[in-house]
Amino acid sequence: SRTNLSRQVVEEVRRYFPGKVFRTIVPRNVRLSEAPSYGQPITAYAPKSPGAMAYKVLTAELIKGDKS
């Protein structure tokens, strides 16, 4: 399934780039795809969507410099 493939890709990327990949994975979802069509960032268009929440967590990781 796509979920298994996605998981495998993440594992492979982390193996290839140890210590350089962030922990947070932004999931695919409909709201994330719709936001640009409405000219809005996901955090304004659907702030409670899984994609928006993941981007918020990723932003915190970037600020702190946390990588797996």
Q: What residues make up the domain containing 68?
A: 22-68
Residue 39 domain flag: yes
45's tokens: 């268009």
Q: Does residue 46 belong to any structural domain of this protein? A: yes
Domain for residue 8, yes or no? no
pLDDT (tens, 9 = 90+) of the chain, 68 residues, equals: 568 888 899 999 999 999 899 999 998 889 999 999 999 999 999 999 999 999 999 999 999 987 66
- Which residue is associated with the tokens 């594992």? 11
Instruction: Kindly report the pTM of this predicted structure.
Output: 0.81
Report residue 9 as tokens: 């890709």
pLDDT of residue 2: 61
Look at residue 27 and tell me if it is in a domain. Answer: yes
For residue 43, the model assigns a pLDDT of 95
Residue 34 domain-assigned?
A: yes
Q: State the pLDDT at residue 3.
A: 80
Number of domains in the chain: 1
Q: Give the per-residue pLDDT at 6.
A: 86
Chain-centre distance for alpha carbon 23: 9
Q: Quick check: is 35 in a domain? A: yes
